[in-house]
C-alpha cells in the first residue's frame, strides 16, 4: 500500500478558494479572534505530519493484531498507546473543543479536515478521539458548570477519553424501548444498571479514565423517547480535588469480533449500579444526544470519504506502475513489454470516479461544516436559523451519501489492483472492510434516508430543501456562472424539485411512499449536491488552469463528473417516481 499523504493542497483549495471561509470567520466575532487563513494552514500542515508519520504506519499491522479482551481488560494493538499519547500531546483531541476548558476552539470546518486525515491514516485509531470529541460536545452544551470543569479539561487534553452508550441488545434504532435504569440517590447522583452493546472505545488502554455518556430511564420516566435521560458515568471515580479514586461499578463484558475496524474496541458494557451524574434535565437525554449527533454523523460521512481517499492514493500509484497489455491506441511505454494500466479506459473510469467522489465529498463535507459553524457562532437570528435548518437537512445526506460512495470508491480501488486487491498485504481489502461499517453505525443509511425524507423534507413541507435549491439556483443563474456547468446543474435541480413536490403530494395519502422512495431520493439529492460542489470548484479553477496542473486536473474531473456520474440521477428519479406498490406485491411468506 502506498504511504498516506494528506491532501493538503486540495483542502486549502476547498477552504480558501471555493468556500472562502476567511470571509465567514471575519463576520463571526467568536471565530475572528481565534482563526485566520495562516492559522488554518499551519494546523492542517501539522495534522498532516502526525497522521502520515505516526498514525498511518500502524494501520496495516493493527488490523492484523486487533484488540484483545481478557478478564475485562482491553489491550489495543502495538503502537497505539504511544501514537495516542503523541496525538494527545499535540492537542489534537481538543482541536474543536471549547478554549475555556483547554480546547483549541477551532471551527468545525477545520476539525473536519483533521478528522479526514486521521481516519485516512487509520479509521480504527480515529474512532477513539472522535467519540471523545462527541462526548465533549454534549457535556459542553448541556452539562452543569461543575461537570464541565471536572471533566472537559482532561478529555480535551487526551488524558481521559469518552464513549457514547446508546444501543442495547433489544434496542438499536428504537431507543425509546431501552431498559437501562437510573435510580436517584440522596446526594444528587444516580445509580445506573443495564447493558449496552456496540460501544466504541468502551474499554481500552489508551487513557487513564473513560467518561461514558449513558442513555437511561428514571423510575418515573414517561414511556418512549420522551422518557430518556443522559448521564455522565466515569470508569474511575473522580475525587473533589480532580484526582482519580475508586473504580466505578461498570465493566466490559466482551468485545465484538468484526469484519473491519479491528483495532477499535467495540464493547459490551455492563453497568451494575454505577454512579452517574445527569446531564441537562430529566427526560431530555435525546436533545442532549442530538447536539452531538449532527457533528458525529458528519464525522461518519467523513470516514467514508477518508477511506476512499486512502484507497485512491494507493490505486493511482499502482496504476502508474503496474504494466499490463498495450494502450488501445498503440504502445505508450515503448521501452517496456507493456504499458502502465492507467492507459486503459476502464482503469481511468474507476480512478476518475474515485477522484470525483473524493474531491466532491471533501467539498460537500466542508460545506456542511460551514453550516454547523454558522449555526453555532452567527449572531444574526435569521442567518442562524437558516443554517440550523440546512444542517438538519444535509446531515443525513452527508452521513449516508458520503459513506455509500466511500464503499463504492474503496471497491473501485480494490478492483484497480485486480487479484492483488483481494490479497491482504496490499491493504485495499482492509479499506473495503473498514469502510463497510460507516454505512451502518450512527444510524444506518436507510434510517438516514427516512430522516431526510420523513422529517426534513416532508416534515418541513419542503421548506428546508428550498433553502438549498434556492441557493443553487442563485449561483447557477448568476451572470458569472460558467454555462458549461450551470446549465446541467439547473437541470438536475429541476429534477430534484419535481420529485420533492411529487413526493410531498404522495406522502399525504400513503405513508408507505416515504420509506419506498427515501434511499433513491437521498442519492438523487446527493448527486445534485455534488454537482453544485463541482460547479463551485470549476468556477474557482477556471482561468487558473494555465498556471498550475492542479487546476487543469480539477476542471477535467469536473467535466468527468457532469458527463459520467451526474446522469445517474435519471435512473434514481425513475425509481422515486415508481412509488411503493411494487414493494408490497409479495406477502411475507412469499419472499
Backbone torsions φ then ψ of 297, nearest 5 degrees: -70, -35
Contacts of 236 (CB under 8 A, 6+ apart): 208, 209, 244, 245, 246, 247, 248
**What is 410-441 written as a DSSP string?**
HHHHHHHTGGGGGSGGGSHHHHHHHHHGGGTS
Q: How far apart are the first and last CA of the chain?
A: 43
Q: Determine contact, residues 36/23, Cβ cutoff 8 Å.
A: no
Contacts of 561 (CB under 8 A, 6+ apart): 356, 360, 530, 531, 534
Nearest to 303 by CA among 530, 445, 124, 426: 124
Q: Is 271 helix (H, G, I), strand (E, B) or coil?
A: strand
Give the whole-angstrom CA distance, residue 493 versus residue 489.
6
Q: Determine contact, residues 120/44, Cβ cutoff 8 Å.
A: no
Annotated active-site residue 442? The verdict is: yes
Q: Determine contact, residues 199/269, Cβ cutoff 8 Å.
A: yes
Give the whole-angstrom CA distance, residue 283 versus residue 242.
29
Q: Which residue has the cell 495516542?
A: 84
Q: Which residue has the cell 477556471?
A: 542
Active-site residue among 359, 429, 442, 520?
A: 442
Contacts of 448 (CB under 8 A, 6+ apart): 297, 396, 397, 399, 400, 522
Residues noted as catalytic: 442
Amino acid at each position: 500500500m502506498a504511504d498516506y499523504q494528506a491532501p493538503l493542497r486540495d483542502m486549502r483549495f476547498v477552504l480558501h478558494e471555493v468556500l472562502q471561509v476567511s470571509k465567514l470567520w471575519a463576520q463571526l466575532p467568536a471565530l475572528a479572534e481565534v482563526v485566520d487563513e495562516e492559522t488554518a494552514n499551519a494546523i492542517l500542515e501539522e495534522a498532516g505530519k502526525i497522521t502520515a508519520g505516526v498514525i498511518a504506519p500502524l494501520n496495516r499491522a493493527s488490523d492484523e493484531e486487533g484488540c484483545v479482551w481478557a478478564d475485562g481488560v482491553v489491550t489495543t494493538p502495538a503502537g497505539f498507546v504511544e501514537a495516542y499519547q503523541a496525538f494527545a500531546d499535540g492537542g489534537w483531541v481538543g482541536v474543536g473543543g471549547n478554549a475555556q476548558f483547554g480546547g483549541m476552539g477551532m471551527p468545525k470546518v477545520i476539525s473536519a479536515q483533521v478528522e479526514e486525515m486521521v481516519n485516512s491514516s487509520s479509521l480504527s485509531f480515529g474512532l477513539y478521539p472522535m467519540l471523545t470529541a462527541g462526548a465533549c460536545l454534549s457535556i459542553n452544551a448541556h452539562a452543569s458548570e461543575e461537570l464541565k470543569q471536572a471533566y472537559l479539561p482532561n478529555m480535551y487534553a487526551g488524558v481521559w477519553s469518552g464513549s457514547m452508550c446508546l444501543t442495547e441488545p433489544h434496542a438499536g434504532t428504537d431507543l425509546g424501548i431501552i431498559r437501562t435504569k437510573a435510580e436517584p440517590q440522596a446526594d444528587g447522583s444516580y445509580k445506573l444498571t443495564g447493558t449496552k452493546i456496540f460501544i466504541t472505545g468502551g474499554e481500552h488502554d489508551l487513557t487513564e479514565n473513560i467518561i461514558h455518556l449513558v442513555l437511561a430511564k428514571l423510575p418515573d420516566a414517561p414511556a418512549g423517547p420522551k422518557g430518556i435521560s443522559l448521564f455522565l458515568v466515569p470508569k474511575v471515580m473522580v475525587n473533589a480535588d480532580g484526582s482519580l479514586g475508586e473504580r466505578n461499578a461498570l465493566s466490559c463484558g466482551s468485545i465484538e469480533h468484526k469484519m473491519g475496524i479491528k483495532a477499535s474496541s467495540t464493547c459490551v458494557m455492563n453497568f451494575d449500579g454505577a454512579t452517574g451524574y445527569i446531564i441537562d434535565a430529566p427526560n431530555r437525554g435525546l436533545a442532549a444526544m442530538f447536539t452531538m449527533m449532527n457533528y458525529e454523523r458528519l464525522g461518519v460521512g467523513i470516514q467514508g470519504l477518508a477511506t476512499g481517499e486512502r484507497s485512491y492514493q494507493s490505486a493511482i500509484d499502482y496504476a502508474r506502475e503496474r504494466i499490463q497489455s498495450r494502450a488501445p491506441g498503440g504502445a505508450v511505454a515503448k521501452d517496456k513489454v507493456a504499458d502502465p494500466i492507467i492507459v486503459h479506459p476502464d482503469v481511468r473510469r474507476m480512478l476518475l470516479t474515485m477522484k470525483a467522489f473524493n474531491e466532491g465529498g471533501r467539498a460537500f463535507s466542508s460545506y456542511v461544516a460551514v453550516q454547523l459553524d454558522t449555526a453555532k457562532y452567527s449572531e444574526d437570528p435569521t442567518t442562524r436559523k437558516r443554517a440550523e435548518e440546512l444542517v438538519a437537512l444535509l446531515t443525513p445526506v452527508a452521513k449516508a451519501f458520503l459513506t455509500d460512495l466511500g464503499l463504492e470508491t474503496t471497491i473501485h480501488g480494490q478492483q484497480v489492483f485486480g487479484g492483488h486487491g483481494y490479497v491482504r498485504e496490499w491493504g485495499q481489502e482492509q479499506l473495503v472492510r473498514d469502510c463497510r461499517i460507516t454505512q451502518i453505525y450512527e444510524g444506518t443509511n436507510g434510517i438516514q434516508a427516512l430522516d431526510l425524507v420523513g422529517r426534513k423534507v416532508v416534515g418541513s413541507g419542503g421548506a428546508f430543501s428550498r433553502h438549498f435549491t434556492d441557493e443553487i439556483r442563485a449561483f447557477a443563474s448568476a451572470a458569472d456562472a460558467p454555462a458549461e456547468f450551470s446549465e446541467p446543474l439547473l437541470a438536475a435541480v429541476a429534477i430534484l424539485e419535481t420529485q420533492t413536490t411529487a413526493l410531498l403530494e404522495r406522502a399525504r395519502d400513503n405513508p408507505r411512499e416515504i420509506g419506498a422512495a427515501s434511499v433513491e431520493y437521498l442519492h438523487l439529492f446527493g448527486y445534485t449536491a455534488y454537482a453544485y460542489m463541482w460547479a463551485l470548484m470549476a468556477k474557482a479553477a477556471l482561468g487558473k488552469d494555465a498556471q498550475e496542473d492542479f487546476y487543469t486536473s480539477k476542471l477535467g474531473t469536473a467535466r468527468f463528473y457532469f458527463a459520467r456520474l451526474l446522469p445517474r440521477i435519471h435512473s434514481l428519479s425513475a425509481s422515486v417516481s415508481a412509488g411503493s406498490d411494487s414493494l408490497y406485491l409479495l406477502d411475507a411468506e412469499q419472499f
